[in-house]
A and B are shown apart, each in its own frame.
Chain A
Amino acid sequence: DQQVKQNSPSLSVQEGRISILNCDYTNSMFDYFLWYKKYPAEGPTFLISISSIKDKNEDGRFTVFLNKSAKHLSLHIVPSQPGDSAVYFCAASTYSGAGSYQLTFGKGTKLSVIP
Chain B
Amino acid sequence: KAGVTQTPRYLIKTRGQQVTLSCSPISGHRSVSWYQQTPGQGLQFLFEYFSETQRNKGNFPGRFSGRQFSNSRSEMNVSTLELGDSALYLCASSLSPQPSNQPQHFGDGTRLSIL
Contact = CB atoms under 8 A, between A and B. Distances in A.
Contacts of A89: 42-43
A103 B104 contact: yes
A96 B109 contact: no
Give the one of A42, A89, A98 with max B CB within 10 A. Answer: A98
Nearest to A96: B56
A98 B56 contact: yes
Q: Chain A interface mostly helix, strand, loop or mixed?
A: strand
Q: Which of the four size classes fits the interface of chain B?
A: 20 to 34
B106 A102 contact: no
A6 B40 CA distance: 11
B99 interface: yes
A43 B35 CA distance: 11
A100 B50 contact: yes
Interface string A78-103: 00000000000101010011111111
Contact of B42 (A43, A51, A99, A106): A106
A36 B55 CA distance: 24
Contact of A104 (B45, B104, B106): B45
B45 A43 contact: no
Contact of B103 (A42, A49, A98): A49
A99 B50 contact: yes
Interface of A: 4, 6, 9, 32, 34, 36, 41-46, 49, 51, 89, 91, 93, 96-108
The 3 closest A-B pairs by CB, nearest first: A43-B106, A107-B42, A100-B55
13 contacts: A34-B99, A49-B103, A89-B43, A97-B56, A98-B55, A99-B50, A99-B97, A100-B50, A100-B55, A100-B56, A101-B98, A103-B33, A105-B42
